[in-house]
Structure 1
């Protein structure tokens, strides 16, 4: 008969979960920042440049977040 002790793992579990949560939060911030930068770059383009890309100025945010919002 073999006995395994997982006491050390159960003590660390909250810290590991916190670390994963923190990393997920930081990743979401990085993605949001990159999307904000994309919006700013597109807003700096002329209407002609946007038209060439098939984007209407009033739909820049929809364009950038289309994969997240489902537009």
Structure 2
């Protein structure tokens, strides 16, 4: 008489664990980037009207260049 088993090891939890781990890492990195002072400065400038930017001598297209100029050599 032969016996067979259709039970496999539960490997479905492994991809879920990797996915949760990497999602947590990515969420942490996103949080760090969003809370960086330069990102907050860029967001504050983006929130200004074109008239307010003109008073500061800026155009909307130049905000990123101004804020990150000394960081990324752009």
Q: With the length of structure 2 as denominator, give the TM-score of the two structures.
A: 0.49
The TM-score with structure 1 as length reference comes to 0.51
Larger % of helix: which? 1
- Name stretches of at least 5 consecutive residues in structure 1 with no aligned partner: 1-28
Find the aligned partners of 1:63 and 1:41 in 2 and give their Cα distance.
13
RMSD: 1.9
Q: Which runs of 5+ in 2 are unaligned?
A: 1-31
Aligned residues: 42
Structure showing greater radius of gyration is 2
Q: Distance between the aligned counterparts of 2:46 and 2:66, measured in 1?
A: 12
